Amino acid sequence: MEIVTAIQIIGIMFTAVNVLYIIRQRSSKCQIYLLIMYIGILINLIGYTFEIFAGSKEKAILCVQFEYVGKPFIVYSMLMFMLVFCGYKINPILKGTLLAIHVSICVLVFTCNHNGLYYSSIDYSYDGIFPHLVLGHSPIYIVYSMLLWGYLVAFLVIGFSRFKSVKSKDAKVQLTTFVVCIIVCFTGLALFMSGITKGYDTTLPAYAITASLLTLILRRYNVFDAVALAKDEALTEFQDGLIVLNNEQEGIYINNSAMNLVNGILDGKLKYYSKRDDSLKKEDYSKKRGLTEVLKVFEDIVEEEEYLIDGEKAYNISSKDIINNDKVYGHMYVLTDVTDSYNYTGRLEEEVSEKTKEVIRIQRSVIGSFATMVEARDGITGLHIKNTSNFVKVLVRAMKNSGRYPEMTEDYVEMVGEAACLHDIGKIAVPDYVLTKPGKLEPEEYKIMQNHPAEGARIIKETLKSLESDDYLGIAYDMALYHHEKWNGTGYPTGKSGINIPLSARIMAVADVYDALRSKRHYKEGFSVEKSVAIMQEGSGSHFDSQIIEVFLEHIDEIEAVFAES
């Protein structure tokens, strides 16, 4: 009796030490399953020790019920640990089913006073080493025992399968030790079930020995430390930068790559590339004095969608909260090396941009040639297109530079200048007898001529909708449709007035009329600069937008210079 008591107490002490050791390890699936197993063994040992000294059937049953708080989960958690350690996965349904079986056994033992489902009979014997319960075995008990022996087969299959696949000597020693531990456990179970132990459950000391052997092998090979060190090494030497903050936005971890970038920012050596405005910039970070200021830079870069440039390397910065079970534990920044994609994307975007510009140039050249062919029908041979396009380019540029039109962008200026050549393309639908008539047009003929703006707008919309941007298409459409509208609303084809006439069309109207005044036609000679300017001034506020006329007259010398060139 004294020997059995000593074995139990020693087992409890060793197992308690093992529990404390496992608790101190980093949380992982291996640690969790080992902890469940060790706690189960500890509960079983304590309960069985009290059972030895129970002295009565009722107290002994209470001790058995306490034992089964942990006993059914020892072998289950041992199997789960073995699977995780060996890198195998188990079907979630099978895993849940096994767990449910062990929980059910626990419930049956707790209600054994009221049913015979697990123990068919419960007696108390004073024979043997110490008084103990004599339990009858029900079919469920027998099936459960067979399941436990099935576990032994699973352990051996997993162990030997893994043993054949690993090459490391240390790994083979670890697996061998684990298999030995399993054999010790089931040897203890076999001895107890054989009856030769005279009522003493030898699985308990077998469990305690197994727990101690496992702890020794774990400490000998630093299994938990190796995982932790591997994680730290991977993060430290990670090519991408990693910065981890707590909820107070204080830095609690920064790896080597991130530290190099932070130092580069503080030294004022780094640049950033803006994805939005396609430019490379360099900020003066020399006044930055710590991580807090650097993190503000990172936030700006994230918000502005920029790259951080360190010499020939490019980094994309992302930030996210560290969340687990809906609780925020901190924040992290990941600085990803995107040098290859950055260089490739840059080259690709540049090539595409150049190709696109070339395609657009060819398209506009071809369409402009058609417009010139249309003009050639009335004997002008394209000079009107050339003149008006030159006038528009000078005028729209002067208007932008005057500061009176803040809404004008550089793209707008270029598109208006390019689209000017298409303003009369609708004349393709005007019959020759109208277009080339030397004298004044009859009312019916004039009505036919008035159709050319609408026809030109239709042609532009149908021809360019799949070739040009929406902005360019809209400008060309407006200039063709509305360039004969007048400020006072007496123009055609829609009778629009004032600012309801698109700005591009108002600019086109000035250039169109001035060239008509200055150029020779088959029905008239060209007017002098003085007479043409006087007519333009007279039409200011009635035919033309007076502000545009004002800018036009301020730059009449430039207008005349490009007219003379034609």
> Cα–Cα distance between 500 and 277 in angstroms, integer?
32
Q: What pLDDT score does 373 carry?
A: 58
- Quick check: 374 and 425 in contact, CB under 8 A? yes
What pTM was computed for the model? 0.44
117 Cβ contact partners less than 8 Å away, ≥ 6 residues apart:
108, 138, 140
* Max CA distance (Å), the chain: 139
What is the number of helices (H) and of strands (E) in the chain? 22, 9
Give pLDDT < 50 ranges for the chain. 229, 279-288, 381, 566
> Cα–Cα distance between 113 and 105 in angstroms, integer?
14
| Of 367, 541, 556, residue with least CA distance to 461 | 367
Q: What pLDDT score does 280 carry?
A: 47
Paired tokens of 398? 């002067």
DSSP 524: B
Paired tokens of 537? 């001034």
> Cα–Cα distance between 441 and 92 in angstroms, integer?
90
Domains present along the chain, CATH in parentheses: 2-231 (1.20.1070.10), 238-337 (3.30.450), 347-565 (1.10.3210.10)
Q: What pLDDT score does 412 carry?
A: 92
Looking at 24-56, list the stretches that DSSP marks H as alpha helix, in order from N- to C-terminal side: 29-52
Q: What pLDDT score does 282 carry?
A: 47
Q: What pLDDT score does 99 carry?
A: 92
pLDDT digits (tens, 9 = 90+) for 470-506: 788 899 999 999 999 999 999 999 999 999 999 999 9
Looking at 422-502, list the stretches that DSSP marks H as alpha helix, in order from N- to C-terminal side: 432-435, 443-449, 452-464, 470-482
The HSE-up count of residue 177 (CA atoms within 13 Å, CB side) is 19
Paired tokens of 288? 């930055």
Paired tokens of 239? 């090519």
Q: How far is CA 197 from the centre of its chain?
A: 64
75 Cβ contact partners less than 8 Å away, ≥ 6 residues apart:
148, 151, 185
Question: CA-CA-CA-CA torsion for 259, 260, 266, 270, nearest 10 degrees?
Answer: -140
Paired tokens of 88? 């195998």
